[in-house]
């Protein structure tokens, strides 16, 4: 049974938190500790759902564009990929256990962006995954990014539809997508069709990606639309990272490599939290499902304003794998 963290809220209300933080780059355990600390802070502020940026654990692959990562069979790229794989998250190995425990202890659900070293795909290819953890500390879904963008394809594999799911959270149904998946109209439509009215888009961190699209998704879905970004400053790159000199030279002179831009728009497209740039922090707001019902009166994209007799969408949520094992 769902219970709000704040007993003063009504049955229609939910407190959401946008956790804009930088990773301890390419250090899984240290970044997990930072995520746990932020969940503890969210719990102390009676937050019901806290979300973190894309690929936060253990970090975004900034080196690919900074070091000409498309060079085939390059030794530096092999070494960086090996290091990234070593620090990636293998859920089956219990790497997220501390995060799940923190969610349970704080009665706070979480969306967390990870780099997943997927055991069911051999354990060496990497997926940009968005993990939903409920208030009981149970993992509800692992959504592997369908299509990595530009240079991301040099280090991340394409995902599947298994994680295209929504999760009941009080009066709301929450769903989410990674970064430029939020531009994919059929992926958004799939979540709308499952009843999504709280959309969570996670990003590595950039105002230009969040300030327009977050409002558009809110208006299109007549839903609350959250964008949560990571943050990365030049000073956040650990000095013991392999090939750090080349990486720092490649990212340029600016201190802010990713400037954040986390924000929250209501179902009429108006800002509840304007884009936040350049600073780490937990940004919170109380949302009310009554506002969704009000805005759905004039437009419901999968309800009275849809024509399934003319157009409809097929969603394949089978987890993709190379093998199907049939035992005696």
**Assigned domain for 319 exists:** no
**Assigned domain for 26 exists:** yes
**Assigned domain for 326 exists:** no
**Assigned domain for 310 exists:** no
Reference 191, options 302, 84, 267, 98; nearest CA is 302
Counting the structural domains of the chain, the total is 1
54 is catalytic: yes
Is the pTM higher than 0.85? The answer reads yes
User: What would the pLDDT profile of 184-241 be if each residue is shown by its tens digit?
Assistant: 999 999 999 999 999 999 999 889 999 999 999 999 999 999 999 999 999 999 999 9
CA-only gyration radius of the chain, Å = 19
145 is catalytic: yes
pLDDT at 3: 76
pLDDT at 235: 92
In which domain, by residue range, is 46 found?
A: 13-296
Query: What pairing do the DSSP bridges indicate for beta strands 49-52 and 109-117?
Result: parallel
Cβ atoms 137, 82 nearer than 8 A: no
Reference 57, options 113, 137, 95; nearest CA is 113
pLDDT at 1: 65
Q: Which residues touch 323 (CB under 8 Å, ≥6 apart)?
A: none
The vertex-94 CA angle with 109 and 128, nearest 5°, equals 70
**Assigned domain for 2 exists:** no
pLDDT at 2: 74
**Assigned domain for 320 exists:** no
**Assigned domain for 311 exists:** no
| Helices 97-105, 28-44: inter-axial angle, 10-degree rounding | 10
Counting Cα atoms < 13 Å in the Cβ hemisphere of 152 gives 24
Exactly one of 100, 108, 128, 179 is catalytic; which is it?
179
**Assigned domain for 122 exists:** yes
Regions in the chain scoring below 70 on pLDDT: 1
For residue 104, what are its two tokens?
């349970």
Distance CA 144, CA 136 (A): 22
Reference 59, options 210, 247, 204; nearest CA is 204
> Residue 168's beta-bridge partner residues?
173
Cβ atoms 117, 96 nearer than 8 A: no
For residue 177, what are its two tokens?
């997508």
Counting Cα atoms < 13 Å in the Cβ hemisphere of 150 gives 7
Q: Which residues touch 72 (CB under 8 Å, ≥6 apart)?
A: none
Which CATH number characterizes residue 164's domain? 3.60.110.10
Quick one: three-class SS letters along the chain?
CCCCCCCCCCCCEEEEEEEECCCCCCCHHHHHHHHHHHHHHHHHCCCCEEEECCCCECCCCCHHHHCCCCCCCCHHHHHHHHHHHHHCECHHHCCCHHHHHHHHHCCCEEEEEEEEECHHHCCCCEEEEEEEECCCCCEEEEEECCCCCHHHHHCCCCCCHHHCCCEEECCEEEEEEEHHHHHCHHHHHHHHHCCCCEEEEEECCCHHHHCCHHHHHHHHHCCEEEEEECCEEHHHCCCCCCCHHHHHHHHCCCCEEECEEEEEECCCCCEEEEEEECCCEEEEEEEEHHHHHHHHCCCCCCCCCCCCCCCCCCCCCCCCCCCCCCCC
Cis ω for the linkage preceding 4 (within 30 of 0): no
Exactly one of 15, 34, 135, 145 is catalytic; which is it?
145
């Amino acid at each position: 049974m769902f219970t709000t963290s704040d007993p003063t809220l009504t049955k229609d209300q939910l407190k959401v938190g946008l956790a804009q933080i930088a990773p301890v780059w390419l250090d899984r355990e240290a970044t997990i500790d930072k995520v746990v600390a932020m969940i503890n802070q969210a719990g102390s502020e009676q937050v019901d759902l806290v979300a973190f940026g894309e690929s936060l654990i253990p970090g975004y692959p900034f080196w690919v564009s900074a070091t000409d990562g498309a060079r085939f069979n390059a030794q530096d790229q092999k070494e960086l990929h090996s290091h990234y794989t070593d620090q990636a998250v293998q859920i089956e190995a219990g790497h997220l256990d501390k995060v799940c425990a923190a969610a349970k202890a704080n009665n706070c659900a979480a969306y967390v962006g990870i780099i997943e070293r997927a055991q069911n795909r051999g354990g060496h290819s990497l997926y940009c995954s968005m993990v939903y953890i409920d208030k009981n500390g149970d993992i509800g879904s692992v959504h592997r990014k369908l299509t990595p963008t530009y240079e991301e394809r040099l280090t991340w594999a394409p995902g599947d539809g298994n994680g295209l799911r929504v999760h009941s959270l009080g009066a709301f149904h929450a769903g989410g997508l990674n970064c430029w998946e939020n531009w994919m109209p059929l992926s958004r439509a799939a979540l709308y069709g499952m009843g999504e009215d709280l959309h969570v888009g996670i990003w590595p961190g950039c105002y230009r990606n969040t300030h327009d699209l977050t409002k558009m998704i809110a208006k299109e879905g007549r839903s609350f639309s959250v964008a949560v970004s990571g943050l990365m400053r030049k000073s956040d790159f650990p000095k013991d990272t392999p090939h750090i000199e080349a990486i720092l030279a490649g990212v340029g002179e600016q201190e802010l490599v990713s400037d954040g831009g986390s924000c929250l728009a209501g179902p009429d497209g108006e800002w509840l939290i304007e884009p936040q740039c350049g600073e780490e922090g937990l940004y919170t707001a109380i949302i009310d499902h009554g506002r969704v019902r009000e805005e759905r009166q004039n437009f419901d994209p999968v309800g009275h304003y849809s024509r399934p007799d003319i157009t409809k969408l097929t969603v394949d949520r089978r987890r993709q794998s190379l093998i199907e094992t049939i035992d005696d």
